[in-house]
Amino acid sequence: MSVVVVNWNRRDLLRSCLQSLERQELKQAFEVIVVDNGSADGSAEMAAAEFAANPALNLKLIRNQDNRGFCAANNQGFAASGSDLIALLNNDAEADPHWLSSLADAFESRPEIGMAASKILVHEDPRRIDKAGHLIYPDGQNRGRGSGELDIGQYDRVEEVLWPDGCAAMYRRAMLDQIGGFDEDFFAYADDAELGLRARIAGWKCLYVPQAVVRHHRGATLGVRSSRRLELIERNRVLLAAKLFPWSLLWLNGVYYALRLAAGLWAALRGRGEVGRYAGFGGKLRAALALLKGDLEALTMLPRMLRKRRQVDRIRKLSPGEVRKLILDHRIPLKQLTEQGV
C-alpha cells in the first residue's frame, strides 16, 4: 500500500501531515511517496531529515525542479508505487490513526470498487464537514457533499458516492492501469472530478467510508481568495464537461451556467457564496474577471479536450444516458451550490 503526498512550499503543514501518517494503526507495511514540486522553503530537506529514517513510513522522496502541478506530481507518485492500493493525502491534511486501514477495508471482496472517499473535516473547526464525497451541478461545477454542514452523524453510513475528493482518497491500481491517472492539462482543481467521472464512465464505483477521517486546512495551496484559484476552478469545470459530459447535457451547459451565475450574483450581493468572500466592489470585480479569464483559457483548450473525448469511448462501459442519470442523481441543488464557498 502506498500514500502519495504532493507538496509545494508548505513545510510546516507537510510535517504535520507526515506525523499523522506516522501514527497510522495498520497491520501491514505501507510506503509514503512525497513528491515535492520545487519548493523553496526547505520542505524536501525537512522531509528527508526528519522522516526518511522512520521505517514505519518507508519514505520515498521525489524532488521536481519546478511546480509541475497537482496532477503531474500525483502521476509521478502513481508511477513510483508498485502497490495494489494507492492513497492520496494533501500536504495540508492530517489523517486520523485508522484512516488508511479504513479506506483499505472498502476494497475487500468488492472488485467493482475502484475508489474510496474519506470523511474530510475542517481542520480549524472539526465540528464542520469539508467534504464527504462529491456532488456536481449540470454545468460541470463540482462541490463537496455536505460542505460547511455541522457534523451530526448525517454522513456516518458507508455508501456509494459519485467520486472521492483528491485531498484524501484511495484508488485501486487496476483501475488506474485501465483508465490512466490524472489529466495533466487540468494542473490543479477539478482534477479529482475528471478522474472520478472518467472512472465511473468506465464502470468503476466509489465507496464513501466515514471511519476514514482527515482534517483539512481549506484553501492552503493558493488561498481561498486567490484569483488564480478561481480561474482554474472555472476553466476546469468547462474542460470537465467538454471531455466527459454526454451531449444531451453539454448542449445545455450555457443555460445551466447562466442560472448558476445569476444565483451566484444574488448570493454575492448578500455576502454569501464563493464571490461573496471578495470584499467590496473591487474584490467582486476581480473575482468576475478571474471567472472570465478562466472561460477564455478553457476555449483555447477545447479542441484538445474534444480529441480526448473520443479516447474516453475506448474505456466506456456506461452509455451516455447512464452517465446523464449518474450526474443528475448526484446533482447539487443550485441554492446550496451558490451560497456556500468552494
Q: Are 36 and 65 in contact (CB under 8 A)?
A: no
| Rounded distance between C-alpha atoms, residue 326 and residue 248, angstroms | 13
Note the pLDDT of residue 342.
47
Cell matching residue 328:
443528475
Pairing mode, strands 205-216 and 159-161: antiparallel
307: Cβ contacts below 8 Å, ≥ 6 apart:
none
Residue with cell 454569501: 272
Angle at 138 between CA 135 and CA 140, to 5 degrees: 75
Mean pLDDT of 86-106: 97
The tens digit of pLDDT for each residue in 295-337 reads 999 999 999 999 999 999 999 999 999 999 999 999 999 988 8
The tens digit of pLDDT for each residue in 114-144 reads 999 999 999 999 999 999 999 999 999 999 9
64: Cβ contacts below 8 Å, ≥ 6 apart:
35, 36, 37, 38, 73, 76
Note the pLDDT of residue 305.
96
Cell matching residue 35:
513528491
Write down the domain spans for the chain: 2-216, 227-339
Residue with cell 450574483: 265
pLDDT of 221 strictly over 60: no
Cell matching residue 259:
442560472
Note the pLDDT of residue 339.
74
Note the pLDDT of residue 336.
86
| Rounded distance between C-alpha atoms, residue 340 and residue 342, angstroms | 7
pLDDT of 219 strictly over 80: no
Note the pLDDT of residue 273.
62
Q: Are 220 and 92 in contact (CB under 8 A)?
A: yes
Q: How many CB atoms lie within 10 A of CB 97?
A: 15
Angstrom distances, CA of residue 65 to CA of 36, 44, 62, 162, 187: 9, 11, 10, 35, 16
Length in residues, the chain? 342
| Rounded distance between C-alpha atoms, residue 91 and residue 41, angstroms | 14
- pTM higher than 0.85, yes or no? yes
The tens digit of pLDDT for each residue in 146-195 reads 999 999 999 999 999 999 999 999 999 999 999 999 999 998 899 999 99
The tens digit of pLDDT for each residue in 241-296 reads 999 999 999 999 999 999 988 887 777 766 666 655 555 666 667 877 888 999 99
Q: Amino acid letter at 4?
A: V
Mean of all residue pLDDT scores within the chain: 92
User: Element (H or E) spanning 305, and its range?
Assistant: helix 280-312
Expressed in percent and rounded to 5, the helix, strand and coil fractions of the chain are 45, 20, 35
Q: Are 188 and 67 in contact (CB under 8 A)?
A: no
Angstrom distances, CA of residue 280 to CA of 228, 260, 266, 287, 288: 19, 21, 15, 11, 13
The secondary structure of 122-143, three-state, reads ECCEEEEEEECCEEECCCCCEE
Nearest CA-CA partner of 48 in 92, 15, 10, 73: 15
Q: Are 238 and 298 in contact (CB under 8 A)?
A: yes
CATH of 2-216, picked from 3.40.630.10, 3.40.640.10, 1.10.3720.10, 3.90.550.10, is 3.90.550.10
Nearest CA-CA partner of 132 in 141, 120, 124, 143: 120
Angstrom distances, CA of residue 294 to CA of 38, 231, 261, 319: 25, 4, 14, 30
